[in-house]
Structure 1
Amino acid sequence: MIKIPSKRKRGVIISGQGWQRLQQAKRKMEMQGNAGESYTLEELSKITRLSSNTITKVQRRKFPVDKQTLESFFKSFNLTLIDSDYAEAIDAPPPVNRERIVLGGQIPLDSLLYVERPPVESLCYEAIVQPGALIRIKAPKQMGKTSLMARVLQQAREQNIRTVTLSFQLADTQVFLKLDRFLRWLCAIASSQLGLPKRISESWDNIFGSNYNATYYFENYLLREMDSDLVLALDEVDEVFHYPEITADFLGLLRAWHEKSRYGDGGSVLWQKLRIIIVHSTEVCVSLPVNQSPFNVGLSVELPEFTLEQVQDLSERHGLKWKVDEVERLMALVSGNPYLTQLALYHLSNEEITLDELLKTAIAEDGIYGSHLQQQLWRLRRYPELLADLQRVVLSPSPLEVEPIQALKLQSLGVVRVQNQRVSPRCELYARYFKLALAIT
């Protein structure tokens, strides 16, 4: 008979409180001795005298390390480890199969395949616990925005902050046609996720207008009923931008809610309980007065592509023993695009394809990127006005000028990069594919 190993305690994991203390101490040291720049993984390794893999384990907060390691980590930032800084970890029997990544969509919270991009995470973790905070996460599609948002929300929950998450992709088209219906929908979803009865009809008075009614609902019901703070996370906000008849009013409302926490009156204390996260890919094309836009206040975060060091580290987590030149060959094809990189490493680590084969068949219809490339082309065909500009970009031997709004739309779809007002293909994979696909179209 096979004996099933029992769970046993082994090692410790940094607690929410310990993580907060460590981040604050680390940030202080960065401000004092590193010109405010976040330490790289290599720099952290030198400071703590711990390996990169060990540091990654500590920062992931999902896999145990020995207590002495955590003490050493804290000591490197002039902290003494105390009991409330960590929790005992319990090991489960090892899984039969190694972790399989989610090919698209949010990377699970407990995944070792999530790549931190300093200082993005630490800035967000610090901001989300601040009264009345507003965080804006912006990046093209499939750059990891939702995965980052999920981790910021987890950080908030560990500080006993309630969370409400709304993805505007889940809303029916009819919801966006009128501001009143849209805000009723938002209030109803928030009530439902908080486990509170919906009291929208009794709180709504048409004399006052939709924005006032939604504000009244949050201030006099949701926020007042709660004995904790609240994060309102709004994902895929780009969906709202397609409806200019509600966009300006809604964005102005978010700015007003953020400002209400700063008035210094009796209501400010209540509104300081609310934190807002806005996640989007595109620039808003609706003209907003400076004092009514939520896009020039709070913390702005733009997710960068992976660096060579991050791709090297990620390849190791996939079980690949790559040299630098192999990392460089993959990056020459996909740059540091997170989704394209994860997809390649997944198939390579499963030994479904070699790196040489991947590079040769990259744009083939039956290649590992075939489905993704066809989806990108399908998305582009929804915007015929963009096709001609993209064709010019991929055929040009050097970056070229494109009408600003068109350039931003192409950038939000993730197929180009814009630098110094000039546009170039996002990566060699897209350049090769769209040269062929748009010539046939």
Structure 2
Amino acid sequence: MFNSQTKHIFISYKRNIHPDEQVALQVFQALSQQHKVFIDQTMSIGTRWAERIETEIRQADFLIAFLSAWSTQSEMVIAEIETAHHLSKSQQGRPVILPVRLAYQEPLVYPLSAYLNGINWAFWKDTEDTPRLINELLQTISGTPLTIATQKPPSSPVGERSRTTSPSSLPHPFPSAQPISLEMPEGTMESQSAFYVERSCDAVALQTIEQQGVTITIKGPRQMGKSSLLIRTIKTAVNAGKRVALLDFQLFDKAALTNADLFFRQFCTWLTDELEMTDKVTEYWNLPLGNSQRCTRYVGRYLLKEFGNPLVLAMDEVETVFDTEFRSDFFGMLRSWHNSRATTPIWKQLDLALVTSTEPYQLIDNLNQSPFNVGQVIDLEDFTPAQVSDLNRRHGSPFNPKEEQQLMALLGGHPYLIRLALYSVASQRLSVNELFTNATTDNGIFGNHLRNHLFRLHNQQELVKAMFQIIRQNLCQDERIFFRLRGAGLVRREGRIVLPRCQLYAEYFREHLG
């Protein structure tokens, strides 16, 4: 019987993984005696899945997040934590996120580090530890903060925010894959990864950044390898004697993205901190000038002048600014910095590297004020059949030539999904036949990825309607909507027709958006 002390609790975990699912179910059963607890296994057939997940997180007082080597790479777990994080800012701190590390002490990587670093967490060691964990969670829900383990896992080092760490007990790979260890296909790849696929544009980016006073734009849909190429570009810049300041624009909070003055000030403060210089932002902000002028003076007359060495300002996820009212001011400012190299020597010290998944030309009114159509523009494309074949060999050839063709037909060279398929079969998590048979099911190897897309689409009806029209008629009448879907990595254009990016998406969304 529930009473006024009853709380709504949402459990976020990685399905079909041990011990994640077992511990999550035990906690669910124990907490359900006193509280209203939601876990995705309680949904009945026919439930509008994505809508239900969002509703349950919105209503929750607490979100328990089980963190393991696998769950920290799960798109759905990350999406659920991200949703809870943003809701808590607009719902007076609800839901409260309660991280539980399942025998996992690695530093969190971005974006989880941005959401969870600084939050107290609980630690589960093994099955004998479950009763203690349940008791600690019950006490926390009643008002006692979670304990922090004796030694808190270190934060991700600067410049490695997106780096992934491999789990401690990977499935045993095929002997033919030795001596190279397999790598989980999640997040940004290390610059020396044996599984990184070099494309022709890589050489262009690396050669360009070795020059002085350059602007590079890396474009492409989600999960194309943009951030991985950026990391390789950064390493080349460092080897060339340049200092790099990497700003990931996803870390700007909503307050900054709705207030131009706050955004420009935070931008300058953040850049100053990355360079480990004295913050003089307040001094420059007292000038009776506009935000772009203040920011330009601060960077040109203070940071670059005092720093005195070549600097690369690398900006990831800059599309975060595209929906703001001050986007033209900010990007116009970057364009002016690019142009100033021709007349003011100090600006030749500054390289700009921008990464975006959205087509910027649709969102900037005056192209003469855009930094995206000058310098070196790199547009990433899907893997070719030859590149997939090469990557298959690096994984120990788990797919034969005919199966490689089937894989290309299903995934269309999608870099992340290709790597996920090769890794999953090479590590013997499933057979090739099982991969193809269960490709579009929620329990299949692509289920987590597909559910994440569905979750992010469900409350954006104009995108849902357009996606369904593309599947049914190969048509998208609104260019703005097309570029949003393309930026999300869901569609592509061939001539005058618009298609789902791959057959996997066409089959899955035809069933779930209908």
TM-score range normalised by the length of the shorter chain: 0.7 to 0.9
Counterpart CA distance in 1 for 2:471 and 2:321 is: 30
Q: Which residue of 1 aligns with 2:331?
A: 251
The aligned amino acid for 2:228 is: S
Which of 199, 211, 219 pairs up with 1:138? 219
Counterpart CA distance in 2 for 1:206 and 1:233 is: 27
Counterpart CA distance in 2 for 1:240 and 1:102 is: 31
Verify: 1:299 aligned to 2:376, yes or no: yes
The aligned amino acid for 2:397 is: L
Q: Which residue of 1 aligns with 2:46?
A: none
Which of 188, 192, 213 pairs up with 1:106? 188
Q: Map 1:230-309 onto structure 2 (within 5 A).
A: 230-243=311-324, 245-263=325-343, 268-284=344-360, 285-309=362-386
Q: Deviations over 1:114-135 (max 9, x none)?
A: 11111x1111112112232111
Counterpart CA distance in 2 for 1:287 and 1:138 is: 15
Contact kept? 1:407, 1:418, Cα under 8 Å: no
Which of 181, 184, 188 pairs up with 2:265? 184
Q: Which residue of 2 aligns with 1:432?
A: 507
Q: Which residue of 1 aligns with 2:245?
A: 164
Verify: 1:392 aligned to 2:473, yes or no: no
Contact kept? 1:106, 1:147, Cα under 8 Å: yes
Change (3 A) 1:351 1:102: closer
Q: Which residue of 1 aligns with 2:305?
A: 224
The aligned amino acid for 2:499 is: S
Change (3 A) 1:102 1:198: farther
Q: Deviations over 1:229-278 (max 9, x none)?
A: 011011011111121x1111001001000000012xxxx21100100011
Q: Which residue of 2 aligns with 1:74?
A: none
Q: Which residue of 2 aligns with 1:53?
A: none
Contact kept? 2:411, 2:504, Cα under 8 Å: yes
Counterpart CA distance in 1 for 2:294 and 2:181 is: 47
Q: CA deviation at 1:287?
A: 4.0
Change (3 A) 1:382 1:148: farther
The aligned amino acid for 2:348 is: Q
Q: CA deviation at 1:321?
A: 5.3
Task: Show structure 1 runs of 4+ deviating over 6 A.
Answer: none
Counterpart CA distance in 2 for 1:231 and 1:153 is: 8
Counterpart CA distance in 1 for 2:214 and 2:417 is: 33
Contact kept? 2:184, 2:423, Cα under 8 Å: no
Which of 215, 218, 224 pairs up with 2:296? 215
Verify: 1:345 aligned to 2:415, yes or no: no
Which of 305, 310, 317 pairs up with 2:387? 310
Verify: 1:125 aligned to 2:206, yes or no: yes
Q: Which residue of 2 aligns with 1:70?
A: none
The aligned amino acid for 2:419 is: Q
The aligned amino acid for 1:413 is: A
Q: CA deviation at 1:424?
A: 0.5
Contact kept? 1:101, 1:107, Cα under 8 Å: no
Q: Deviations over 1:358-382 (max 9, x none)?
A: 1110011111100100001112224
Counterpart CA distance in 2 for 1:154 and 1:168 is: 20
Q: Deviations over 1:339-358 (max 9, x none)?
A: 00010011010111111111
The aligned amino acid for 1:360 is: T
**Other structure's SS at 2:276 match:** coil
Verify: 1:373 aligned to 2:450, yes or no: yes
**Other structure's SS at 2:212 match:** coil
Counterpart CA distance in 1 for 2:477 and 2:417 is: 25
Unaligned runs of 5+ in 2: 1-177
Which range moves more in the overlay, 216-225 or 340-349?
Answer: 216-225
Counterpart CA distance in 2 for 1:425 and 1:351 is: 29
**Other structure's SS at 1:135 match:** strand
Contact kept? 1:192, 1:198, Cα under 8 Å: yes
Counterpart CA distance in 2 for 1:417 and 1:410 is: 9
Contact kept? 1:402, 1:423, Cα under 8 Å: no
Query: Sequence identity of aligned pairs in percent?
Result: 37
**Other structure's SS at 2:205 match:** helix
Q: Deviations over 1:295-329 (max 9, x none)?
A: 22111111010011111111111122544222111
Q: CA deviation at 1:110?
A: 2.3
Counterpart CA distance in 2 for 1:279 and 1:377 is: 25
**Other structure's SS at 2:229 match:** helix
Contact kept? 2:221, 2:486, Cα under 8 Å: yes
**Other structure's SS at 1:221 match:** helix
Q: Which residue of 2 aligns with 1:408?
A: 483
Q: Which residue of 2 aligns with 1:173?
A: 254
Change (3 A) 1:183 1:97: farther
Counterpart CA distance in 2 for 1:137 and 1:381 is: 29
Which range moves more in the overlay, 120-129 or 273-282?
Answer: 120-129
Counterpart CA distance in 2 for 1:339 and 1:313 is: 15
Q: Which residue of 2 aligns with 1:92?
A: none
Contact kept? 2:311, 2:351, Cα under 8 Å: yes
Contact kept? 1:134, 1:275, Cα under 8 Å: yes
Unaligned runs of 5+ in 1: 1-95
Q: Which residue of 2 aligns with 1:15?
A: none
Q: Map 1:318-329 onto structure 2 (within 5 A).
A: 318-320=395-397, 322-329=399-406
Counterpart CA distance in 2 for 1:430 and 1:372 is: 10
Which range moves more in the overlay, 174-183 or 306-315?
Answer: 174-183
Q: Which residue of 1 aligns with 2:198?
A: 116
Contact kept? 1:104, 1:142, Cα under 8 Å: no
Contact kept? 2:398, 2:422, Cα under 8 Å: no
**Other structure's SS at 1:327 match:** helix
Change (3 A) 1:262 1:148: same
Counterpart CA distance in 1 for 2:426 and 2:341 is: 49
**Other structure's SS at 1:294 match:** coil
Q: CA deviation at 1:394?
A: 1.5
**Other structure's SS at 1:253 match:** helix
Verify: 1:358 aligned to 2:440, yes or no: no
TM-score by length of 2: 0.63
**Other structure's SS at 1:296 match:** coil
